[in-house]
Homo-oligomer: A and B are copies of this chain.
C-alpha cells in the first residue's frame, strides 16, 4: 500500500470529518445547488459555508460552476455517496450490536436476580 494512497485517503477522510460538510454533501445528492440554496437549507453563515466548500473544492470532492453572479456546486464523483452510505450501514451495525450486548447483559442480570431470590428463600 503506497504512501501516496494513504495520504490521499487521509485527506479525503479529513475533508469528510465535519458535520456541516456531510450535510452539504447530503444536500447535493439530488444535483447541483447554488451557495445561497445551501445557506438557506442548512441555516449556516455564508462565509462559514464558503470555507467548507473551499475545503472540499481543494480536495476536488466538489466542483464549482459559475453562472452569472452565482456559483453552482456539485459533487465530482458519486462514489462519495457510496462512502457515506457505507458509513450509515456501519452505524447501523454498531447500533444493532450494542442492542444485542445490552439484551444479553439484561438477560444475565435477570438470571442473577433469580439466583439471589432463590438464595434468599
Residues of A within 8 A of B (CB): 1, 3, 5-10, 12-14, 16-19, 22-23, 26, 60, 77, 79-80, 82-84, 86-91, 93-94, 97
Contact = CB atoms under 8 A, between A and B. Distances in A.
Contact of A17 (B1, B17, B77, B97): B17
Contacts of A22: 6, 9-10
Contacts of A90: 12, 77, 79-80, 83
Contact of A86 (B7, B83, B91): B83
Nearest to A29: B1
Nearest to A79: B90
16 contacts: A1-B23, A6-B19, A7-B19, A8-B87, A9-B16, A10-B16, A10-B18, A10-B19, A13-B16, A16-B17, A77-B90, A77-B97, A79-B93, A80-B90, A82-B86, A83-B90
